[in-house]
Amino acid sequence: MNRPLSSSLWLLVATALLVAALLPFDGTISQWAQGLPGGVVTFNERITDFGTFAWMIYGSGSIVIIAYILNQVGRTATFSSKTRTAWRLGLYFLLTIGSASIVVHLAKLVIGRARPELFSEYGSRSISFLSGHDWVFQSFPSGHSAAVGAFFGAFSMLAPRLRFLFALGALSIGISRVVVGAHYPSDVAAGLLVGLWTALMAAFLFARKNWLFRLDDKAWPRPKSNIDASQL
């Protein structure tokens, strides 16, 4: 079995197991989190919208366009090399975050899980398949969590030594979605893993083209030696 396929299956199994483990406690944890002290809730309200797809996609797209134009007009090999790297970085983030957005929004429409604000009426396990575009039935998976999972997942692939910090950032935004009452814990877990999956699959794709990543002797994508955290 090739590495991308085995990685996909591993993440799918991990997602299913984690979601299944959290489901029995979703309602209890959600209600408890929303009842935390006002200062905690306010802090989470302030950081939660960092995990929106829009600014990440627009930002990545802008980097791609600007770097591509600069690369085309660059007059020196060094300048051209730097802008080409910037173009590929922007493209990597755009592909990762855009793919996560597509996957998660399709899943929301198909699954149709009621959000925590409907807990008293529907409980935490209400599913309404193909519920359309009604926001209150688009709880699973969490879009904000998928966005930060993709965003920080991409950074963790590019700068592996800082993965703990990137994971902490993604978890902080994911937890905030539970605290503000927008999602259940299992929604967040699924969203984060969807984002991580797209970051990993995009890294495999780029490694095949020798862009930003290379495949090591175990056929795993590693950042090329000229890419480090100081250049991101």
pLDDT at site 124: 85
pLDDT in tens, 112-159: 899 999 988 888 888 888 766 688 889 999 999 999 999 999 999 998
What is the tens place of the pLDDT at every residue in 55-108? 777 666 666 666 555 555 555 556 667 777 888 888 899 999 999 999 999 999
Can you give the pLDDT at residue 63?
Answer: 62
What is the model's pLDDT at position 67? 59
Residue 230 in this model has a pLDDT that exceeds 50: no
Looking only at the bridges linking them, the beta strands covering 221-223 and 213-215 are antiparallel
Q: How far is CA 151 from the centre of its chain?
A: 5
Question: Highest-confidence range of 38-52, 170-184, 217-231, by mean pLDDT?
Answer: 170-184
Q: Give residue 226's pLDDT.
A: 45
pTM score: 0.87
Residue 51 and residue 144 in contact, taking contact as beta carbons nearer than 8 Å = yes
Contact 124, 223 (CB under 8 A): no
Query: Is 34's pLDDT higher than 80?
Result: yes
The pLDDT value recorded for residue 231 is: 42
In tens, the pLDDT along 161-214 reads 999 999 999 999 999 999 999 999 999 999 999 999 999 999 999 999 999 999
φ and ψ of 127, to 5 deg = -120, 135
Is residue 4 predicted with pLDDT exceeding 60? yes
User: pLDDT at position 227, please?
Assistant: 45
pLDDT at 229: 40
Would you state the pLDDT for residue 183?
95
CA 199: distance to chain centroid?
A: 8
Instruction: State the sign of the Cα–Cα–Cα–Cα dihedral 113, 128, 95, 3.
Output: positive
